């Protein structure tokens, strides 16, 4: 077998990442050597590969679904927004500078087509199949000329395209038809059909519409995927966290002892790697929520200040909303606080930033004896170590370099009383360390909470990936998908007027 497929969507968040991961897991189960690919990703949730490259967290998750090691080849271009109009451009896992949206779409993006095609070809030479994820919608006609992630990459690779639509939002038939009708004839030739996502109810009531859609477009629907609670994966952006989503949508598992543990996560601007709290939400009896008001700290047993792409901006936001004062009061009362990456930096005494915000010297919250200096070179690492007597793994993605001037050592940061700080993302995924940390938090919060002795975050993640594979295997026409991956889009697909404007 040798081939591939592009999973496009009618909109952002239509379910492309879920479907791509599900197809990867399904193919892997069949013994197919498969890799995910997303030419260009815009996300503040990223991951560090073993070779020290930064890629989108969703592609790392899809690689896990495919049971392969994540690589920069799988996400050659990553855009990390720093404002509404500019992003840091990460090329082949390394930052190459800041660029405005106009500058990027005005020429730089198109110039990267050879790079992304080269990465895709290398993957195709290594794996039996490559499942590509698109971005946004392929019908964004204002961006088609410079597109390298949707029909641009499909055309370059001659990959068939399946368009995913979220029926839970409504208007899925119009979205499917309109998506195809706004593509050029050459692009339409590659669109083989559709996948309905998040369907609730009786599929037989949907089937007449699918038949009419086929009559109108000449294209079939490859499956109707049902709505499933708790099917979280590592999100690209937004405030949904994978396992937190499961907690929010269902009853929190009962605690081992009498008390639950309440975790409040500060919803700072440009929040990055909020997946750090997934492992907390996976614990029975732990309730995780995002907050943006000081009064929401009152009943929290632990407050987490997460990573952010804008450390100084987050610091200003905390002060403007009264959260800085609330954090200071918590620290004085010995109530637990955990700062991760940018959240660690804001808890320090001083920040020297001539790189990210260019704000110069800025006073931190002064809760930890740490001074941070931003460097142009980004730290990208996969550290291992020990904390609270337990083995810990993590990953680092930051420009700020911390000088720790006191306190007790804690990973690469420090601890003062009930305030902890570290640059390490993902540390809470280490099960024994997470249990020991939660035990410390419960003691400081005077809660009769006991962590479950057998929660395995890695096993829970595998279960979720298997559920995604089940969705494809049980609710999609897998024989037809396999033919599509192997042989490409069927010939003779009709053109749907009016097509892309000239």
Residues taking part in catalysis: 341, 425
Backbone phi and psi for residue 218, each to the nearest 5 degrees, phi listed first: 75, 15
Residue 371, strand partner residues? 350, 403
User: How many helices and strands (H and E) does the chain possess?
Assistant: 17, 27
Task: Answer whether 329's CB lies under 8 Å from 339's CB.
Answer: no
Q: Which residue has the tokens 């073993």?
A: 50
Q: What is the 3-state secondary structure (H, E, C) of 229-287?
A: CCCCCCCCCCCCCHHHHHHHHCCCCCCCCCCCEEEEEECCCCEECHHHHHHHHCCCCEE
Q: Burial-class residue 367 by CB neighbours within 10 Å (0-12, 13-18, 19+).
A: buried
> What whole-number distance in Å separates Cα of residue 306 and Cα of residue 125?
39
> What whole-number distance in Å separates Cα of residue 196 and Cα of residue 221?
8
> What whole-number distance in Å separates Cα of residue 388 and Cα of residue 502?
63
Question: Most distant CA pair in the chain: distance in Å?
Answer: 71
**Extended strands (E) in 440-483:** none
SS3 453: coil
SS3 332: helix
Q: What is the 3-state secondary structure (H, E, C) of 134-164?
A: CCCCCCCCCCHHHCCCCHHHHHHHCCCEEEE
Q: What angle do CA 324, 88, 64 make, to 5 degrees?
A: 90
Q: CB within 8 A of 404, min separation 6: which ones?
A: 369, 370, 413, 414
Task: Answer whether 35's CB lies under 8 Å from 120's CB.
Answer: no
> What whole-number distance in Å separates Cα of residue 225 and Cα of residue 478?
12
> What whole-number distance in Å separates Cα of residue 71 and Cα of residue 78?
13
> What whole-number distance in Å separates Cα of residue 33 and Cα of residue 66?
8
Task: Answer whether 54's CB lies under 8 Å from 48's CB.
Answer: yes
């Amino acid at each position: 077998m040798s081939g591939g497929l592009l999973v496009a969507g009618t909109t952002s968040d239509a379910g492309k990442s879920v479907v791509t991961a599900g197809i990867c897991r399904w193919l892997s189960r069949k013994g197919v050597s498969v890799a995910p690919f997303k030419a260009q990703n815009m996300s503040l949730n990223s991951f560090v590969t073993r070779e020290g490259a930064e890629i989108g967290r969703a592609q790392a998750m899809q690689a896990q679904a495919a049971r392969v090691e994540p690589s920069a080849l799988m996400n050659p271009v990553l855009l990390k927004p720093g404002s509404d109009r500019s992003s840091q451009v990460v090329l082949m896992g390394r930052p190459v500078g800041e660029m405005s949206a106009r500058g990027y779409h005005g020429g730089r993006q198109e110039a990267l087509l050879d790079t992304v095609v080269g990465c895709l070809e290398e993957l195709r030479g290594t794996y039996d199949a490559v499942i590509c994820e698109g971005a946004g919608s392929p019908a964004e006609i204002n961006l088609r000329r410079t597109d390298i992630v949707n029909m641009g990459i499909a055309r370059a690779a001659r990959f068939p395209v399946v368009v995913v639509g979220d029926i839970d939002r409504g208007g899925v038939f119009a979205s499917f038809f309109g998506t195809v009708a706004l593509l050029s004839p050459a692009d339409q030739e590659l669109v083989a059909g559709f996948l309905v996502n998040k369907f609730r109810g009786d599929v037989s009531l949907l089937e007449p519409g699918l038949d009419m859609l086929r009559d109108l477009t000449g294209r079939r629907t490859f499956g109707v995927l049902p709505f499933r609670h708790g099917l979280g994966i590592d999100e690209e952006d937004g405030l949904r966290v994978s396992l937190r989503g499961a907690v929010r949508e269902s009853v929190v598992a009962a605690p081992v002892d009498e008390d639950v543990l309440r975790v409040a996560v500060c919803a700072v601007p440009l929040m990055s790697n909020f997946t750090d709290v997934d492992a907390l939400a996976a614990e029975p009896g732990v309730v995780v929520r995002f907050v943006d008001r000081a009064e929401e700290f009152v009943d929290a047993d632990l407050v987490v200040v997460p990573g952010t792409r804008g450390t100084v901006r987050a610091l200003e936001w905390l002060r403007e909303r009264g959260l800085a004062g609330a954090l200071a009061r918590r620290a004085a009362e010995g109530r637990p606080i955990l700062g991760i990456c940018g959240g660690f930096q804001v808890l320090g005494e001083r920040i020297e930033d001539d790189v990210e915000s260019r704000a110069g010297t800025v006073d931190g919250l002064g809760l930890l004896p740490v001074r941070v200096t931003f460097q142009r070179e980004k730290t990208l690492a996969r550290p291992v170590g020990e904390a609270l007597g337990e083995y810990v793994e993590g990953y680092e993605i930051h420009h700020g370099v911390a000088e720790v001037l006191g306190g007790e050592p804690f990973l690469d940061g420090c601890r003062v009383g009930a305030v902890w700080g570290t640059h390490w993302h993902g540390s809470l995924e280490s099960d024994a360390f997470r249990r020991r940390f939660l035990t410390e938090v419960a003691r400081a919060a005077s809660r009769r909470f006991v962590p479950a002795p057998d929660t395995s975050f890695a096993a829970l993640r595998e279960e979720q990936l298997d559920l995604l594979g089940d969705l494809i295997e049980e609710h999609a026409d897998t024989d037809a998908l396999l033919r599509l991956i192997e042989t490409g889009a069927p010939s003779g697909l009709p053109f749907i007027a009016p097509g892309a404007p000239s």
